[in-house]
């Protein structure tokens, strides 16, 4: 035993002083492709132990979810946060466009006044509004243009990518790149869009105690439709309570239903002007569902993309 210890000690003493036992172990494997520190020398972040530099690998992984229900709740909350971020970004773009076309005075620029009112209703942070008002006056800043790109997803699913961009060549290149890398395909204009209807929507968070009241208000206000969320019987109320009813209304009845919901002290989330709802949602298998979800996630990472609509159930 003592002889073995002496041999091991001799081996480590002969090793280069710049490499400790920890670095010898870590260098057996390459750095992970997904590390946010890739391309940066790990020695910049490595502490020293006993005069020898200790190199550590840094791994990045998805958040740990304890169980199926927890993962679904986390995914739903992430989607809601992303939706809010994208909505605020679009409001900022609309502010820039309104000012570029009609000037910075909301008293004489009715389009700007409407956008600012919508920003107030949607509780867009004041700093976002002010930043984009300033941005509109910057030299070289162009007005934003609305575009739709249509995509053939997986399992027969169609997608519509909503874009508000100040550089069309950039936006189309970015969308095309993501679609191609994902193995999907861009569709010709009009190939997918006809499968959707453009509507005003008020999203009301689910509450069993208010369900009948919400339906009564929608009926009284002349709503065109009320789309109930898809509840999962395997999940408890904590997950299902993070779902929303979609009250579909006409532009004429939109303000009326918001007023009635406020009077009833029912929390709601107004739309960002409109939504695209599928006319005939389709079911797909789990593999296609995961591929479509990944594609949508990558598209939404693009700055120019404001929303992605799909006819997948």
In which domain, by residue range, is 137 found? Answer: 67-143
**Same-domain pairing of 170 and 212:** yes
- Last residue of a domain, which of 143, 161, 195? 143
Looking at residue 68, its pLDDT comes to 47
CA angle 249–250–254, rounded 5-degree value: 70
* Number of separate domains in the chain: 3
pLDDT of residue 82: 78
Query: Does the pLDDT value for residue 28 go beyond 60?
Result: no
pLDDT of residue 75: 54
Q: Residue 209 — very low, low, confident or very high, per pLDDT cuts 50/70/90?
A: low
Q: Are 220 and 282 contained in the same domain? A: yes
Q: In this structure, are 196 and 295 located in the same domain?
A: yes
| Residue 212 neighbours by CB under 8 Å, 6+ apart | none
Percentage of the chain beyond pLDDT 70 is 69
Do residues 193 and 181 both lie within one domain? yes
Q: What is the pLDDT of residues 107-136, one digit of tens each?
A: 999 999 999 988 888 889 999 999 999 999
Q: What is the pLDDT of residue 313?
A: 87
Residues 165, 289 share a domain: yes
CATH of the domain at 81: 1.10.10.200
Mean pLDDT of 233-238: 46
Mean pLDDT over 92-109 rounds to 93
């Amino acid at each position: 035993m003592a002889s073995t210890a002496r041999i091991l000690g001799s081996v480590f003493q002969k090793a280069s002083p710049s490499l400790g036992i920890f670095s010898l172990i870590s260098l057996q494997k390459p750095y992970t492709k997904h590390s946010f520190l890739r391309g940066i020398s790990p020695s910049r972040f490595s502490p020293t132990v006993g005069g020898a530099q200790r190199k550590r690998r840094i791994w990045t992984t998805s958040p740990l979810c304890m169980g199926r229900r927890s993962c679904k709740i986390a995914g739903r909350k992430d989607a809601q946060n992303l939706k809010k971020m994208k909505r605020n970004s679009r409001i900022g773009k609309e502010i820039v466009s309104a000012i570029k076309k009609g000037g910075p005075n909301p008293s004489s620029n009715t389009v700007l006044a409407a956008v600012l009112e919508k920003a107030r209703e949607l509780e867009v942070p004041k700093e976002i509004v002010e930043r984009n008002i300033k941005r509109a006056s910057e030299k070289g800043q162009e007005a934003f243009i609305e575009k739709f790109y249509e995509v053939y997803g997986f399992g027969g699913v169609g997608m519509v990518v909503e874009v508000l961009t100040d550089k069309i060549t950039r936006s189309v290149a970015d969308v095309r790149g993501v679609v191609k890398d994902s193995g999907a395909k861009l569709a010709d204009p009009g190939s997918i869009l006809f499968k959707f209807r453009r509507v005003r929507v008020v999203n009301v968070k689910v509450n069993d105690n208010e369900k009948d009241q919400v339906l009564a208000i929608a009926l009284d206000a002349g709503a065109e439709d009320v789309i109930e969320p898809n509840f999962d019987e395997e999940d408890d109320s904590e997950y299902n309570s993070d779902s929303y009813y979609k009250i579909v209304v006409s532009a004429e009845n939109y303000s009326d239903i918001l007023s009635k919901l406020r009077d009833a002290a029912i929390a709601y989330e107004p739309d960002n002007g409109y939504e695209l709802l599928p006319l005939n949602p389709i079911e797909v298998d789990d593999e296609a569902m995961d591929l479509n979800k990944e594609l949508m996630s990558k598209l939404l990472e693009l700055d120019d993309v404001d929303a992605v609509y799909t006819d997948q159930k």
